[in-house]
Structure 1
């Protein structure tokens, strides 16, 4: 009797099976659950804290202590004008002569009386002039902005920090899980069993696909938490401004994570011990962290931000930030994401060769050159 062997899965089906395995193994691990909860708590806490400190700052600039106000004598014609100034305390006099008398006996700092145009006011002092009162009562012309500034410096920093930290945490966190999984499979020889059923490229594709789904899930959870925090703190205006930039951020995040995931997996395949993982994924870690620091600290430099919005490793953060502040033309994100896609395709192709050429090699760390050479021999 002949034994019927099942047909091996196609490359696409194999990648999906590996992706499902990655997703299940990650979402059921305590480290993933704890890290995700901690991240969401930090996001919600930071939004609430920023609102709290902003309220404190507003309170600090709020009502002036009556004891700190400057006493000024006024008459009926000028009482309203002085009363509208928060730093002045009007002392109503029955007549202009009585107001001058209050100044003379130093009961008040000055008297504000009806005067000539254009101000229509006359400031009476005992000696010299009171510059503080003069500046307070100075007539400031009305202004009109054709393009009002939509955000303050504080909001600029907050938005840059938010986009940057989400990309860094997802990139470093999920990328680290890919590296850890790859090295663990090599160290325990599980990879040899997997490669008996699926190809190395299908295994790499499945790992990237599964962790990309996890990264998107984390991004969605972070976005939902951020929305909740903004609603709780009453920052609905900021929430409304984030619509289109967040959609672009998600698109850039997906492609950018594919790029980083390939680098993490290829780097991790070069070593056979978990203890050696840190050294080989350091370049990927730097490529994840550098955009965060550049965008956060240089977000006000228009030239630097324009460059960062096109560089593949910083575009997932730089371009959404520029879109949020209305500093990018409609075509710029399209060009930037095409550049990012092309870079991700090229890097993934090289990473697949490194991965397939080093995955079955144990012992000392494999060099990139040897991995590429081994992959070329296998292809032949």
Structure 2
């Protein structure tokens, strides 16, 4: 059956769902708040990555070893950071400089070794910076006394890191992507799913669905609702991901943006297929309810499953992650993360996507049957088994 403009009925319903959502002020306000929140978080991390550290180190006159150590440490600082030597007369002057905050710390060398003194515990980052430098200065002095050099003594002692898994992405980026994709999936699935269910039950409660059913096959109504809300959810995720990528490009992890973009591409594809199943289940949940108050009970199983997907996919690693990347629904998050980490062969995302598509088709067929048989039943909440058995 077709509408008055000769368009397929499902297409008219889909357009109606999209327009209704776009014109919904509460939805637009929530979308804007979420975008601002993501932009704010991205901006904070970008601001953090641009911050510089500045340290003033007191060194007593005549302590050439300490002065040399500070100079060498200053040469190893990252761009923007500063390490300044403040020369003082003696130990008492050094303590006074630290106490009145003229200097952040006091570095001293002697026969018993080196000491980094602060009014409170010295900065951990400064300690980590100075520790290998003072060791190098000490070894250099002793090497000269023995008629050799530090370079000769340390030749062959450099430690080179290597990743045997072949991955090129920092593990921190992979962990962040795991959290971000799991959160995006959970946020969109729960938010859009609840709206689908509420839309269905409102039409059922107002008896509007009886008028719709007399003109349009209910399976086409379901198809239009599922596709319309899938388009909205997908567009919303693209917005969130775009803002996140822009923010990531402004941080120290900007080199990971190309790999993250490829991973997000797979996530979009998997989400587009998987959300069809989620939307169909929520539409069925709305049909099982007779009032808005019933929705909490009919949508509870989906909410529990989605929460489980979020908790299991975020931080999954090793064999568990490999298994989850082939399990429908959890694969929406786990497979793109494996692609980002370089842990998946070219054929694995394809096989996983096929499995997800088969699962989605099966869920839609079962949900469509329950949806049609429960939608016109009133007088109380309908169980899904009852809906499947109904004539």
Per the shorter chain, which TM-score range? Answer: 0.7 to 0.9
Report if the CA contact (8 A) 2:286-2:295 is conserved: yes
Quick one: distance in 2 between partners of 1:82 and 1:234?
Answer: 26
With over 3 angstroms needed to count, the CA separation of the structure-2 counterparts of 1:207 and 1:103, relative to structure 1, is closer
Number of equivalent positions: 336
Range 105-114 or range 304-313, more displaced? 105-114
- Give the alignment partner of residue 199 of structure 2, picking from 181, 184, 187: 181
Match of 1:247 in 2: 265
- Is structure 2 residue 282 aligned with structure 1 residue 282? no
Quick one: distance in 2 between partners of 1:106 and 1:329?
Answer: 53
Q: CA deviation at 1:166?
A: 1.0
Q: CA deviation at 1:88?
A: 12
| Cα RMSD after superposing both structures | 3.7
- Is structure 2 residue 18 aligned with structure 1 residue 13? no
Task: Give the TM-score taking structure 2 as reference length.
Answer: 0.75
Cα deviations by residue, 1:71-120 (Å, 9 ceiling, x for unpaired)? 96459xxx97884246998x9xxxxxxxxxx9579999996240448764
Match of 1:35 in 2: 30
Quick one: distance in 2 between partners of 1:228 and 1:105?
Answer: 52
Quick one: distance in 1 between partners of 2:9 and 2:225?
Answer: 11
Cα deviations by residue, 1:50-89 (Å, 9 ceiling, x for unpaired)? 3344556xx5xx55541389x96459xxx97884246998
Task: Give the TM-score taking structure 1 as reference length.
Answer: 0.77
Report if the CA contact (8 A) 1:44-1:226 is conserved: yes
- Match of 1:67, SS state, is strand
Match of 2:385 in 1: 369
Match of 1:126 in 2: none
Q: CA deviation at 1:223?
A: 2.5
Report if the CA contact (8 A) 1:8-1:197 is conserved: no
Match of 2:131 in 1: none
Quick one: distance in 2 between partners of 1:350 and 1:12?
Answer: 26
Match of 2:226 in 1: 208
With over 3 angstroms needed to count, the CA separation of the structure-2 counterparts of 1:140 and 1:54, relative to structure 1, is farther
Quick one: distance in 2 between partners of 1:181 and 1:105?
Answer: 77
Range 142-151 or range 354-363, more displaced? 142-151
Q: CA deviation at 1:215?
A: 1.2
- Give the alignment partner of residue 66 of structure 1, picking from 57, 60, 66: 57
With over 3 angstroms needed to count, the CA separation of the structure-2 counterparts of 1:170 and 1:146, relative to structure 1, is closer
With over 3 angstroms needed to count, the CA separation of the structure-2 counterparts of 1:119 and 1:208, relative to structure 1, is same
Quick one: distance in 2 between partners of 1:328 and 1:105?
Answer: 54
- Is structure 2 residue 148 aligned with structure 1 residue 157? no
